Amino acid sequence: MTSPVELILKKRDGGTHTSEELVALVQGFLAGTIADYQMSAWLMAALIRGLDEAETTALTQAMLHSGKVLGLRSVRAPKIDKHSTGGVGDKISLCLAPLVAACGVVAPLIAGRGLGHTGGTLDKLEAIPGYRVGLEPRAFERVLREVGASIIGQSAAIAPADRRLYALRDVTGTVESTPLIVASILSKKLAAGSDGLVLDVKVGRGAFMPDLRRARALARALVRTARKAGLPTVALITDMSVPIGRTIGNALELREAIEVLHDAGPSDTRELTLVLGVEMLRLAGRAKSSAEARRLLERALADGSAFERFRRMVHAHGGDLRVIDDPDRLPRAKVRVPLLAKRSGVLRSMDPLELAWVSLGLGAGRTRAEHKVDPGAGIELCHAVGERVERGEPLAYLSAAKRSLIDAVKARAELAFELGTRAPGRRRLVLERIAR
């Protein structure tokens, strides 16, 4: 077998791996014969040198087969998975899984934790006391059968290679690589045993792909690799130039997701949920047209059935329903401080990347793999872009366990808000749809 150092040198020097080498890399890493520091070095080499299409497919398959591939055969309804490439304030999966389940589409979501500057669905769910993200495959299948929606994490059983690589990439500056993102997302998604996949590929300053050209390349690589593996997939490229909705941070985002499930909440969070839901219903064959799919989804929000599915999903995962029924009981940070506008003007932009790092500094994410997140920490945004703000009014509220954490990031947070004289142009939420 090729030694770990030879694999690193090969990629460092721009070589192309065989699929056997990639299997050896993944298996050696899981078995402990390739150390974390060696894998980190290979990941950096792969980020800089890239992987071609065959290597990307081989890495995806090696990661997929590092664990169980679920059949979910006892779940009869169409099963459609959804995944986002990572955003700021992105709580859409929390709203979407129960919403589509209420419309007859099963949502088996294998989600991730915070990655780089972005938040993770699992961290958000764990803000619910008792919620278990680590269901065993049989329990996952039972929840899907009984409730129609379940959101879990990769475990020792499902794509364990991704779980370990994800944690390492998060803290070694090796996230923003198209082939590594493709292999990470698709290894979990292919393991979940779905009939289709809808991807939300983020573009803009708060995304891993800051420009449309790179986001499009990522979307195409994801759709192509998934379809080659037999998974019908559609990707929407969506705007990540401002945070989604009004909250960043785990319990805060959960509260916003609950608002959307009550047929309220910020218009962009709701709209993104609906457009992705339309794609899921269409892929499942549940609606003949996008208009019909949208009608079904809007009805499930309005009649309370989507919220009821969310309750049932949380209950099935052992979560405390009292915080779902009364979000004021969700974990809260000890200190909450307003960030006041130093001048009057129209809010022209809110930098999602700066705000994401601020949120991390407040304790909502990790800067080392072993860190615990603070469920109550984060940012509440008081205005949408385009609104007028008067001097002295709060732009946002910052929450953390200690005042010193807020003081350390306050100046950075102030710089994230741009006030001007004229409102910016209208924001387009969905930029492109990629189906091939």
Please tell me whether residue 63 binds ligand URA under the rule CB under 6 A.
no
Query: In the block, which residue shows the tokens 């779980």?
Result: 163
Can you say whether the dihedral through the CA atoms of 19, 21, 24, 25 is positive or negative?
Answer: negative
∠ Cα 103 108 114 (to 5°): 115
From 177-185, 196-204, 285-293, 299-307, give the range in contact with ligand URA by CB under 6 A: 177-185
Task: Report helix, strand or coil for 389.
Answer: strand
Please tell me whether residue 64 binds ligand URA under the rule CB under 6 A.
no
Min dist CB 16 to ligand URA, Å, is: 21
Residue of this chain nearest to ligand URA (CB atom): 184
Min dist CB 180 to ligand URA, Å, is: 6
Q: Which helix (H) or strand (E) holds 214?
A: helix 212-228
Please tell me whether residue 115 binds ligand URA under the rule CB under 6 A.
yes
162 is catalytic: yes
∠ Cα 325 326 331 (to 5°): 120
- When binding is defined by CB under 6 A, the residue of 85, 93, 150, 250 that contacts ligand URA is 85
| Residue closest to 398 by CA, chosen among 372, 344, 371, 360 | 360
- Which one-letter amino acid corresponds to residue 267? S
Give the separation between CA 63 and CA 40, rounded to whole angstroms.
Answer: 16
Number of chain positions touching ligand URA (CB under 6 A): 8
Q: Which residue out of 10, 11, 117, 188 is catalytically annotated?
A: 188
Residues present in the chain in total? 436
Q: Which helix (H) or strand (E) holds 399?
A: strand 394-400
Please tell me whether residue 185 binds ligand URA under the rule CB under 6 A.
yes
Please tell me whether residue 154 binds ligand URA under the rule CB under 6 A.
no
Task: Report helix, strand or coil for 172.
Answer: coil
Min dist CB 427 to ligand URA, Å, is: 23
Based on CB atoms, which residue is closest to ligand URA, 30 or 389? 30
Give the separation between CA 114 and CA 40, rounded to whole angstroms.
Answer: 18
Based on CB atoms, which residue is closest to ligand URA, 38 or 184? 184
- When binding is defined by CB under 6 A, the residue of 67, 78, 87, 112 that contacts ligand URA is 112
- When binding is defined by CB under 6 A, the residue of 51, 92, 181, 191 that contacts ligand URA is 181
Q: Which residue out of 150, 177, 184, 241 is catalytically annotated?
A: 184
Q: Which residue out of 10, 17, 79, 83 is catalytically annotated?
A: 83
Q: Which helix (H) or strand (E) holds 138?
A: helix 137-146
83 is catalytic: yes
Give the separation between CA 306 and CA 149, rounded to whole angstroms.
Answer: 11
Site string for ligand URA, 187-216 (x = CB under 6 A): ------------------------------
Based on CB atoms, which residue is closest to ligand URA, 86 or 319? 86
184 is catalytic: yes
Q: Which residue out of 81, 90, 123, 162 is catalytically annotated?
A: 162
399 is catalytic: no
Half-sphere exposure of 51 (CA within 13 A, CB side): 30
Give the separation between CA 307 and CA 259, rounded to whole angstroms.
Answer: 9
Based on CB atoms, which residue is closest to ligand URA, 184 or 247? 184
Half-sphere exposure of 118 (CA within 13 A, CB side): 31
- When binding is defined by CB under 6 A, the residue of 38, 56, 184, 241 that contacts ligand URA is 184
Q: Which residues are catalytic?
A: 83, 162, 169, 184, 188
Binding site for ligand URA (CB under 6 A): 85-86, 112, 115, 180-181, 184-185
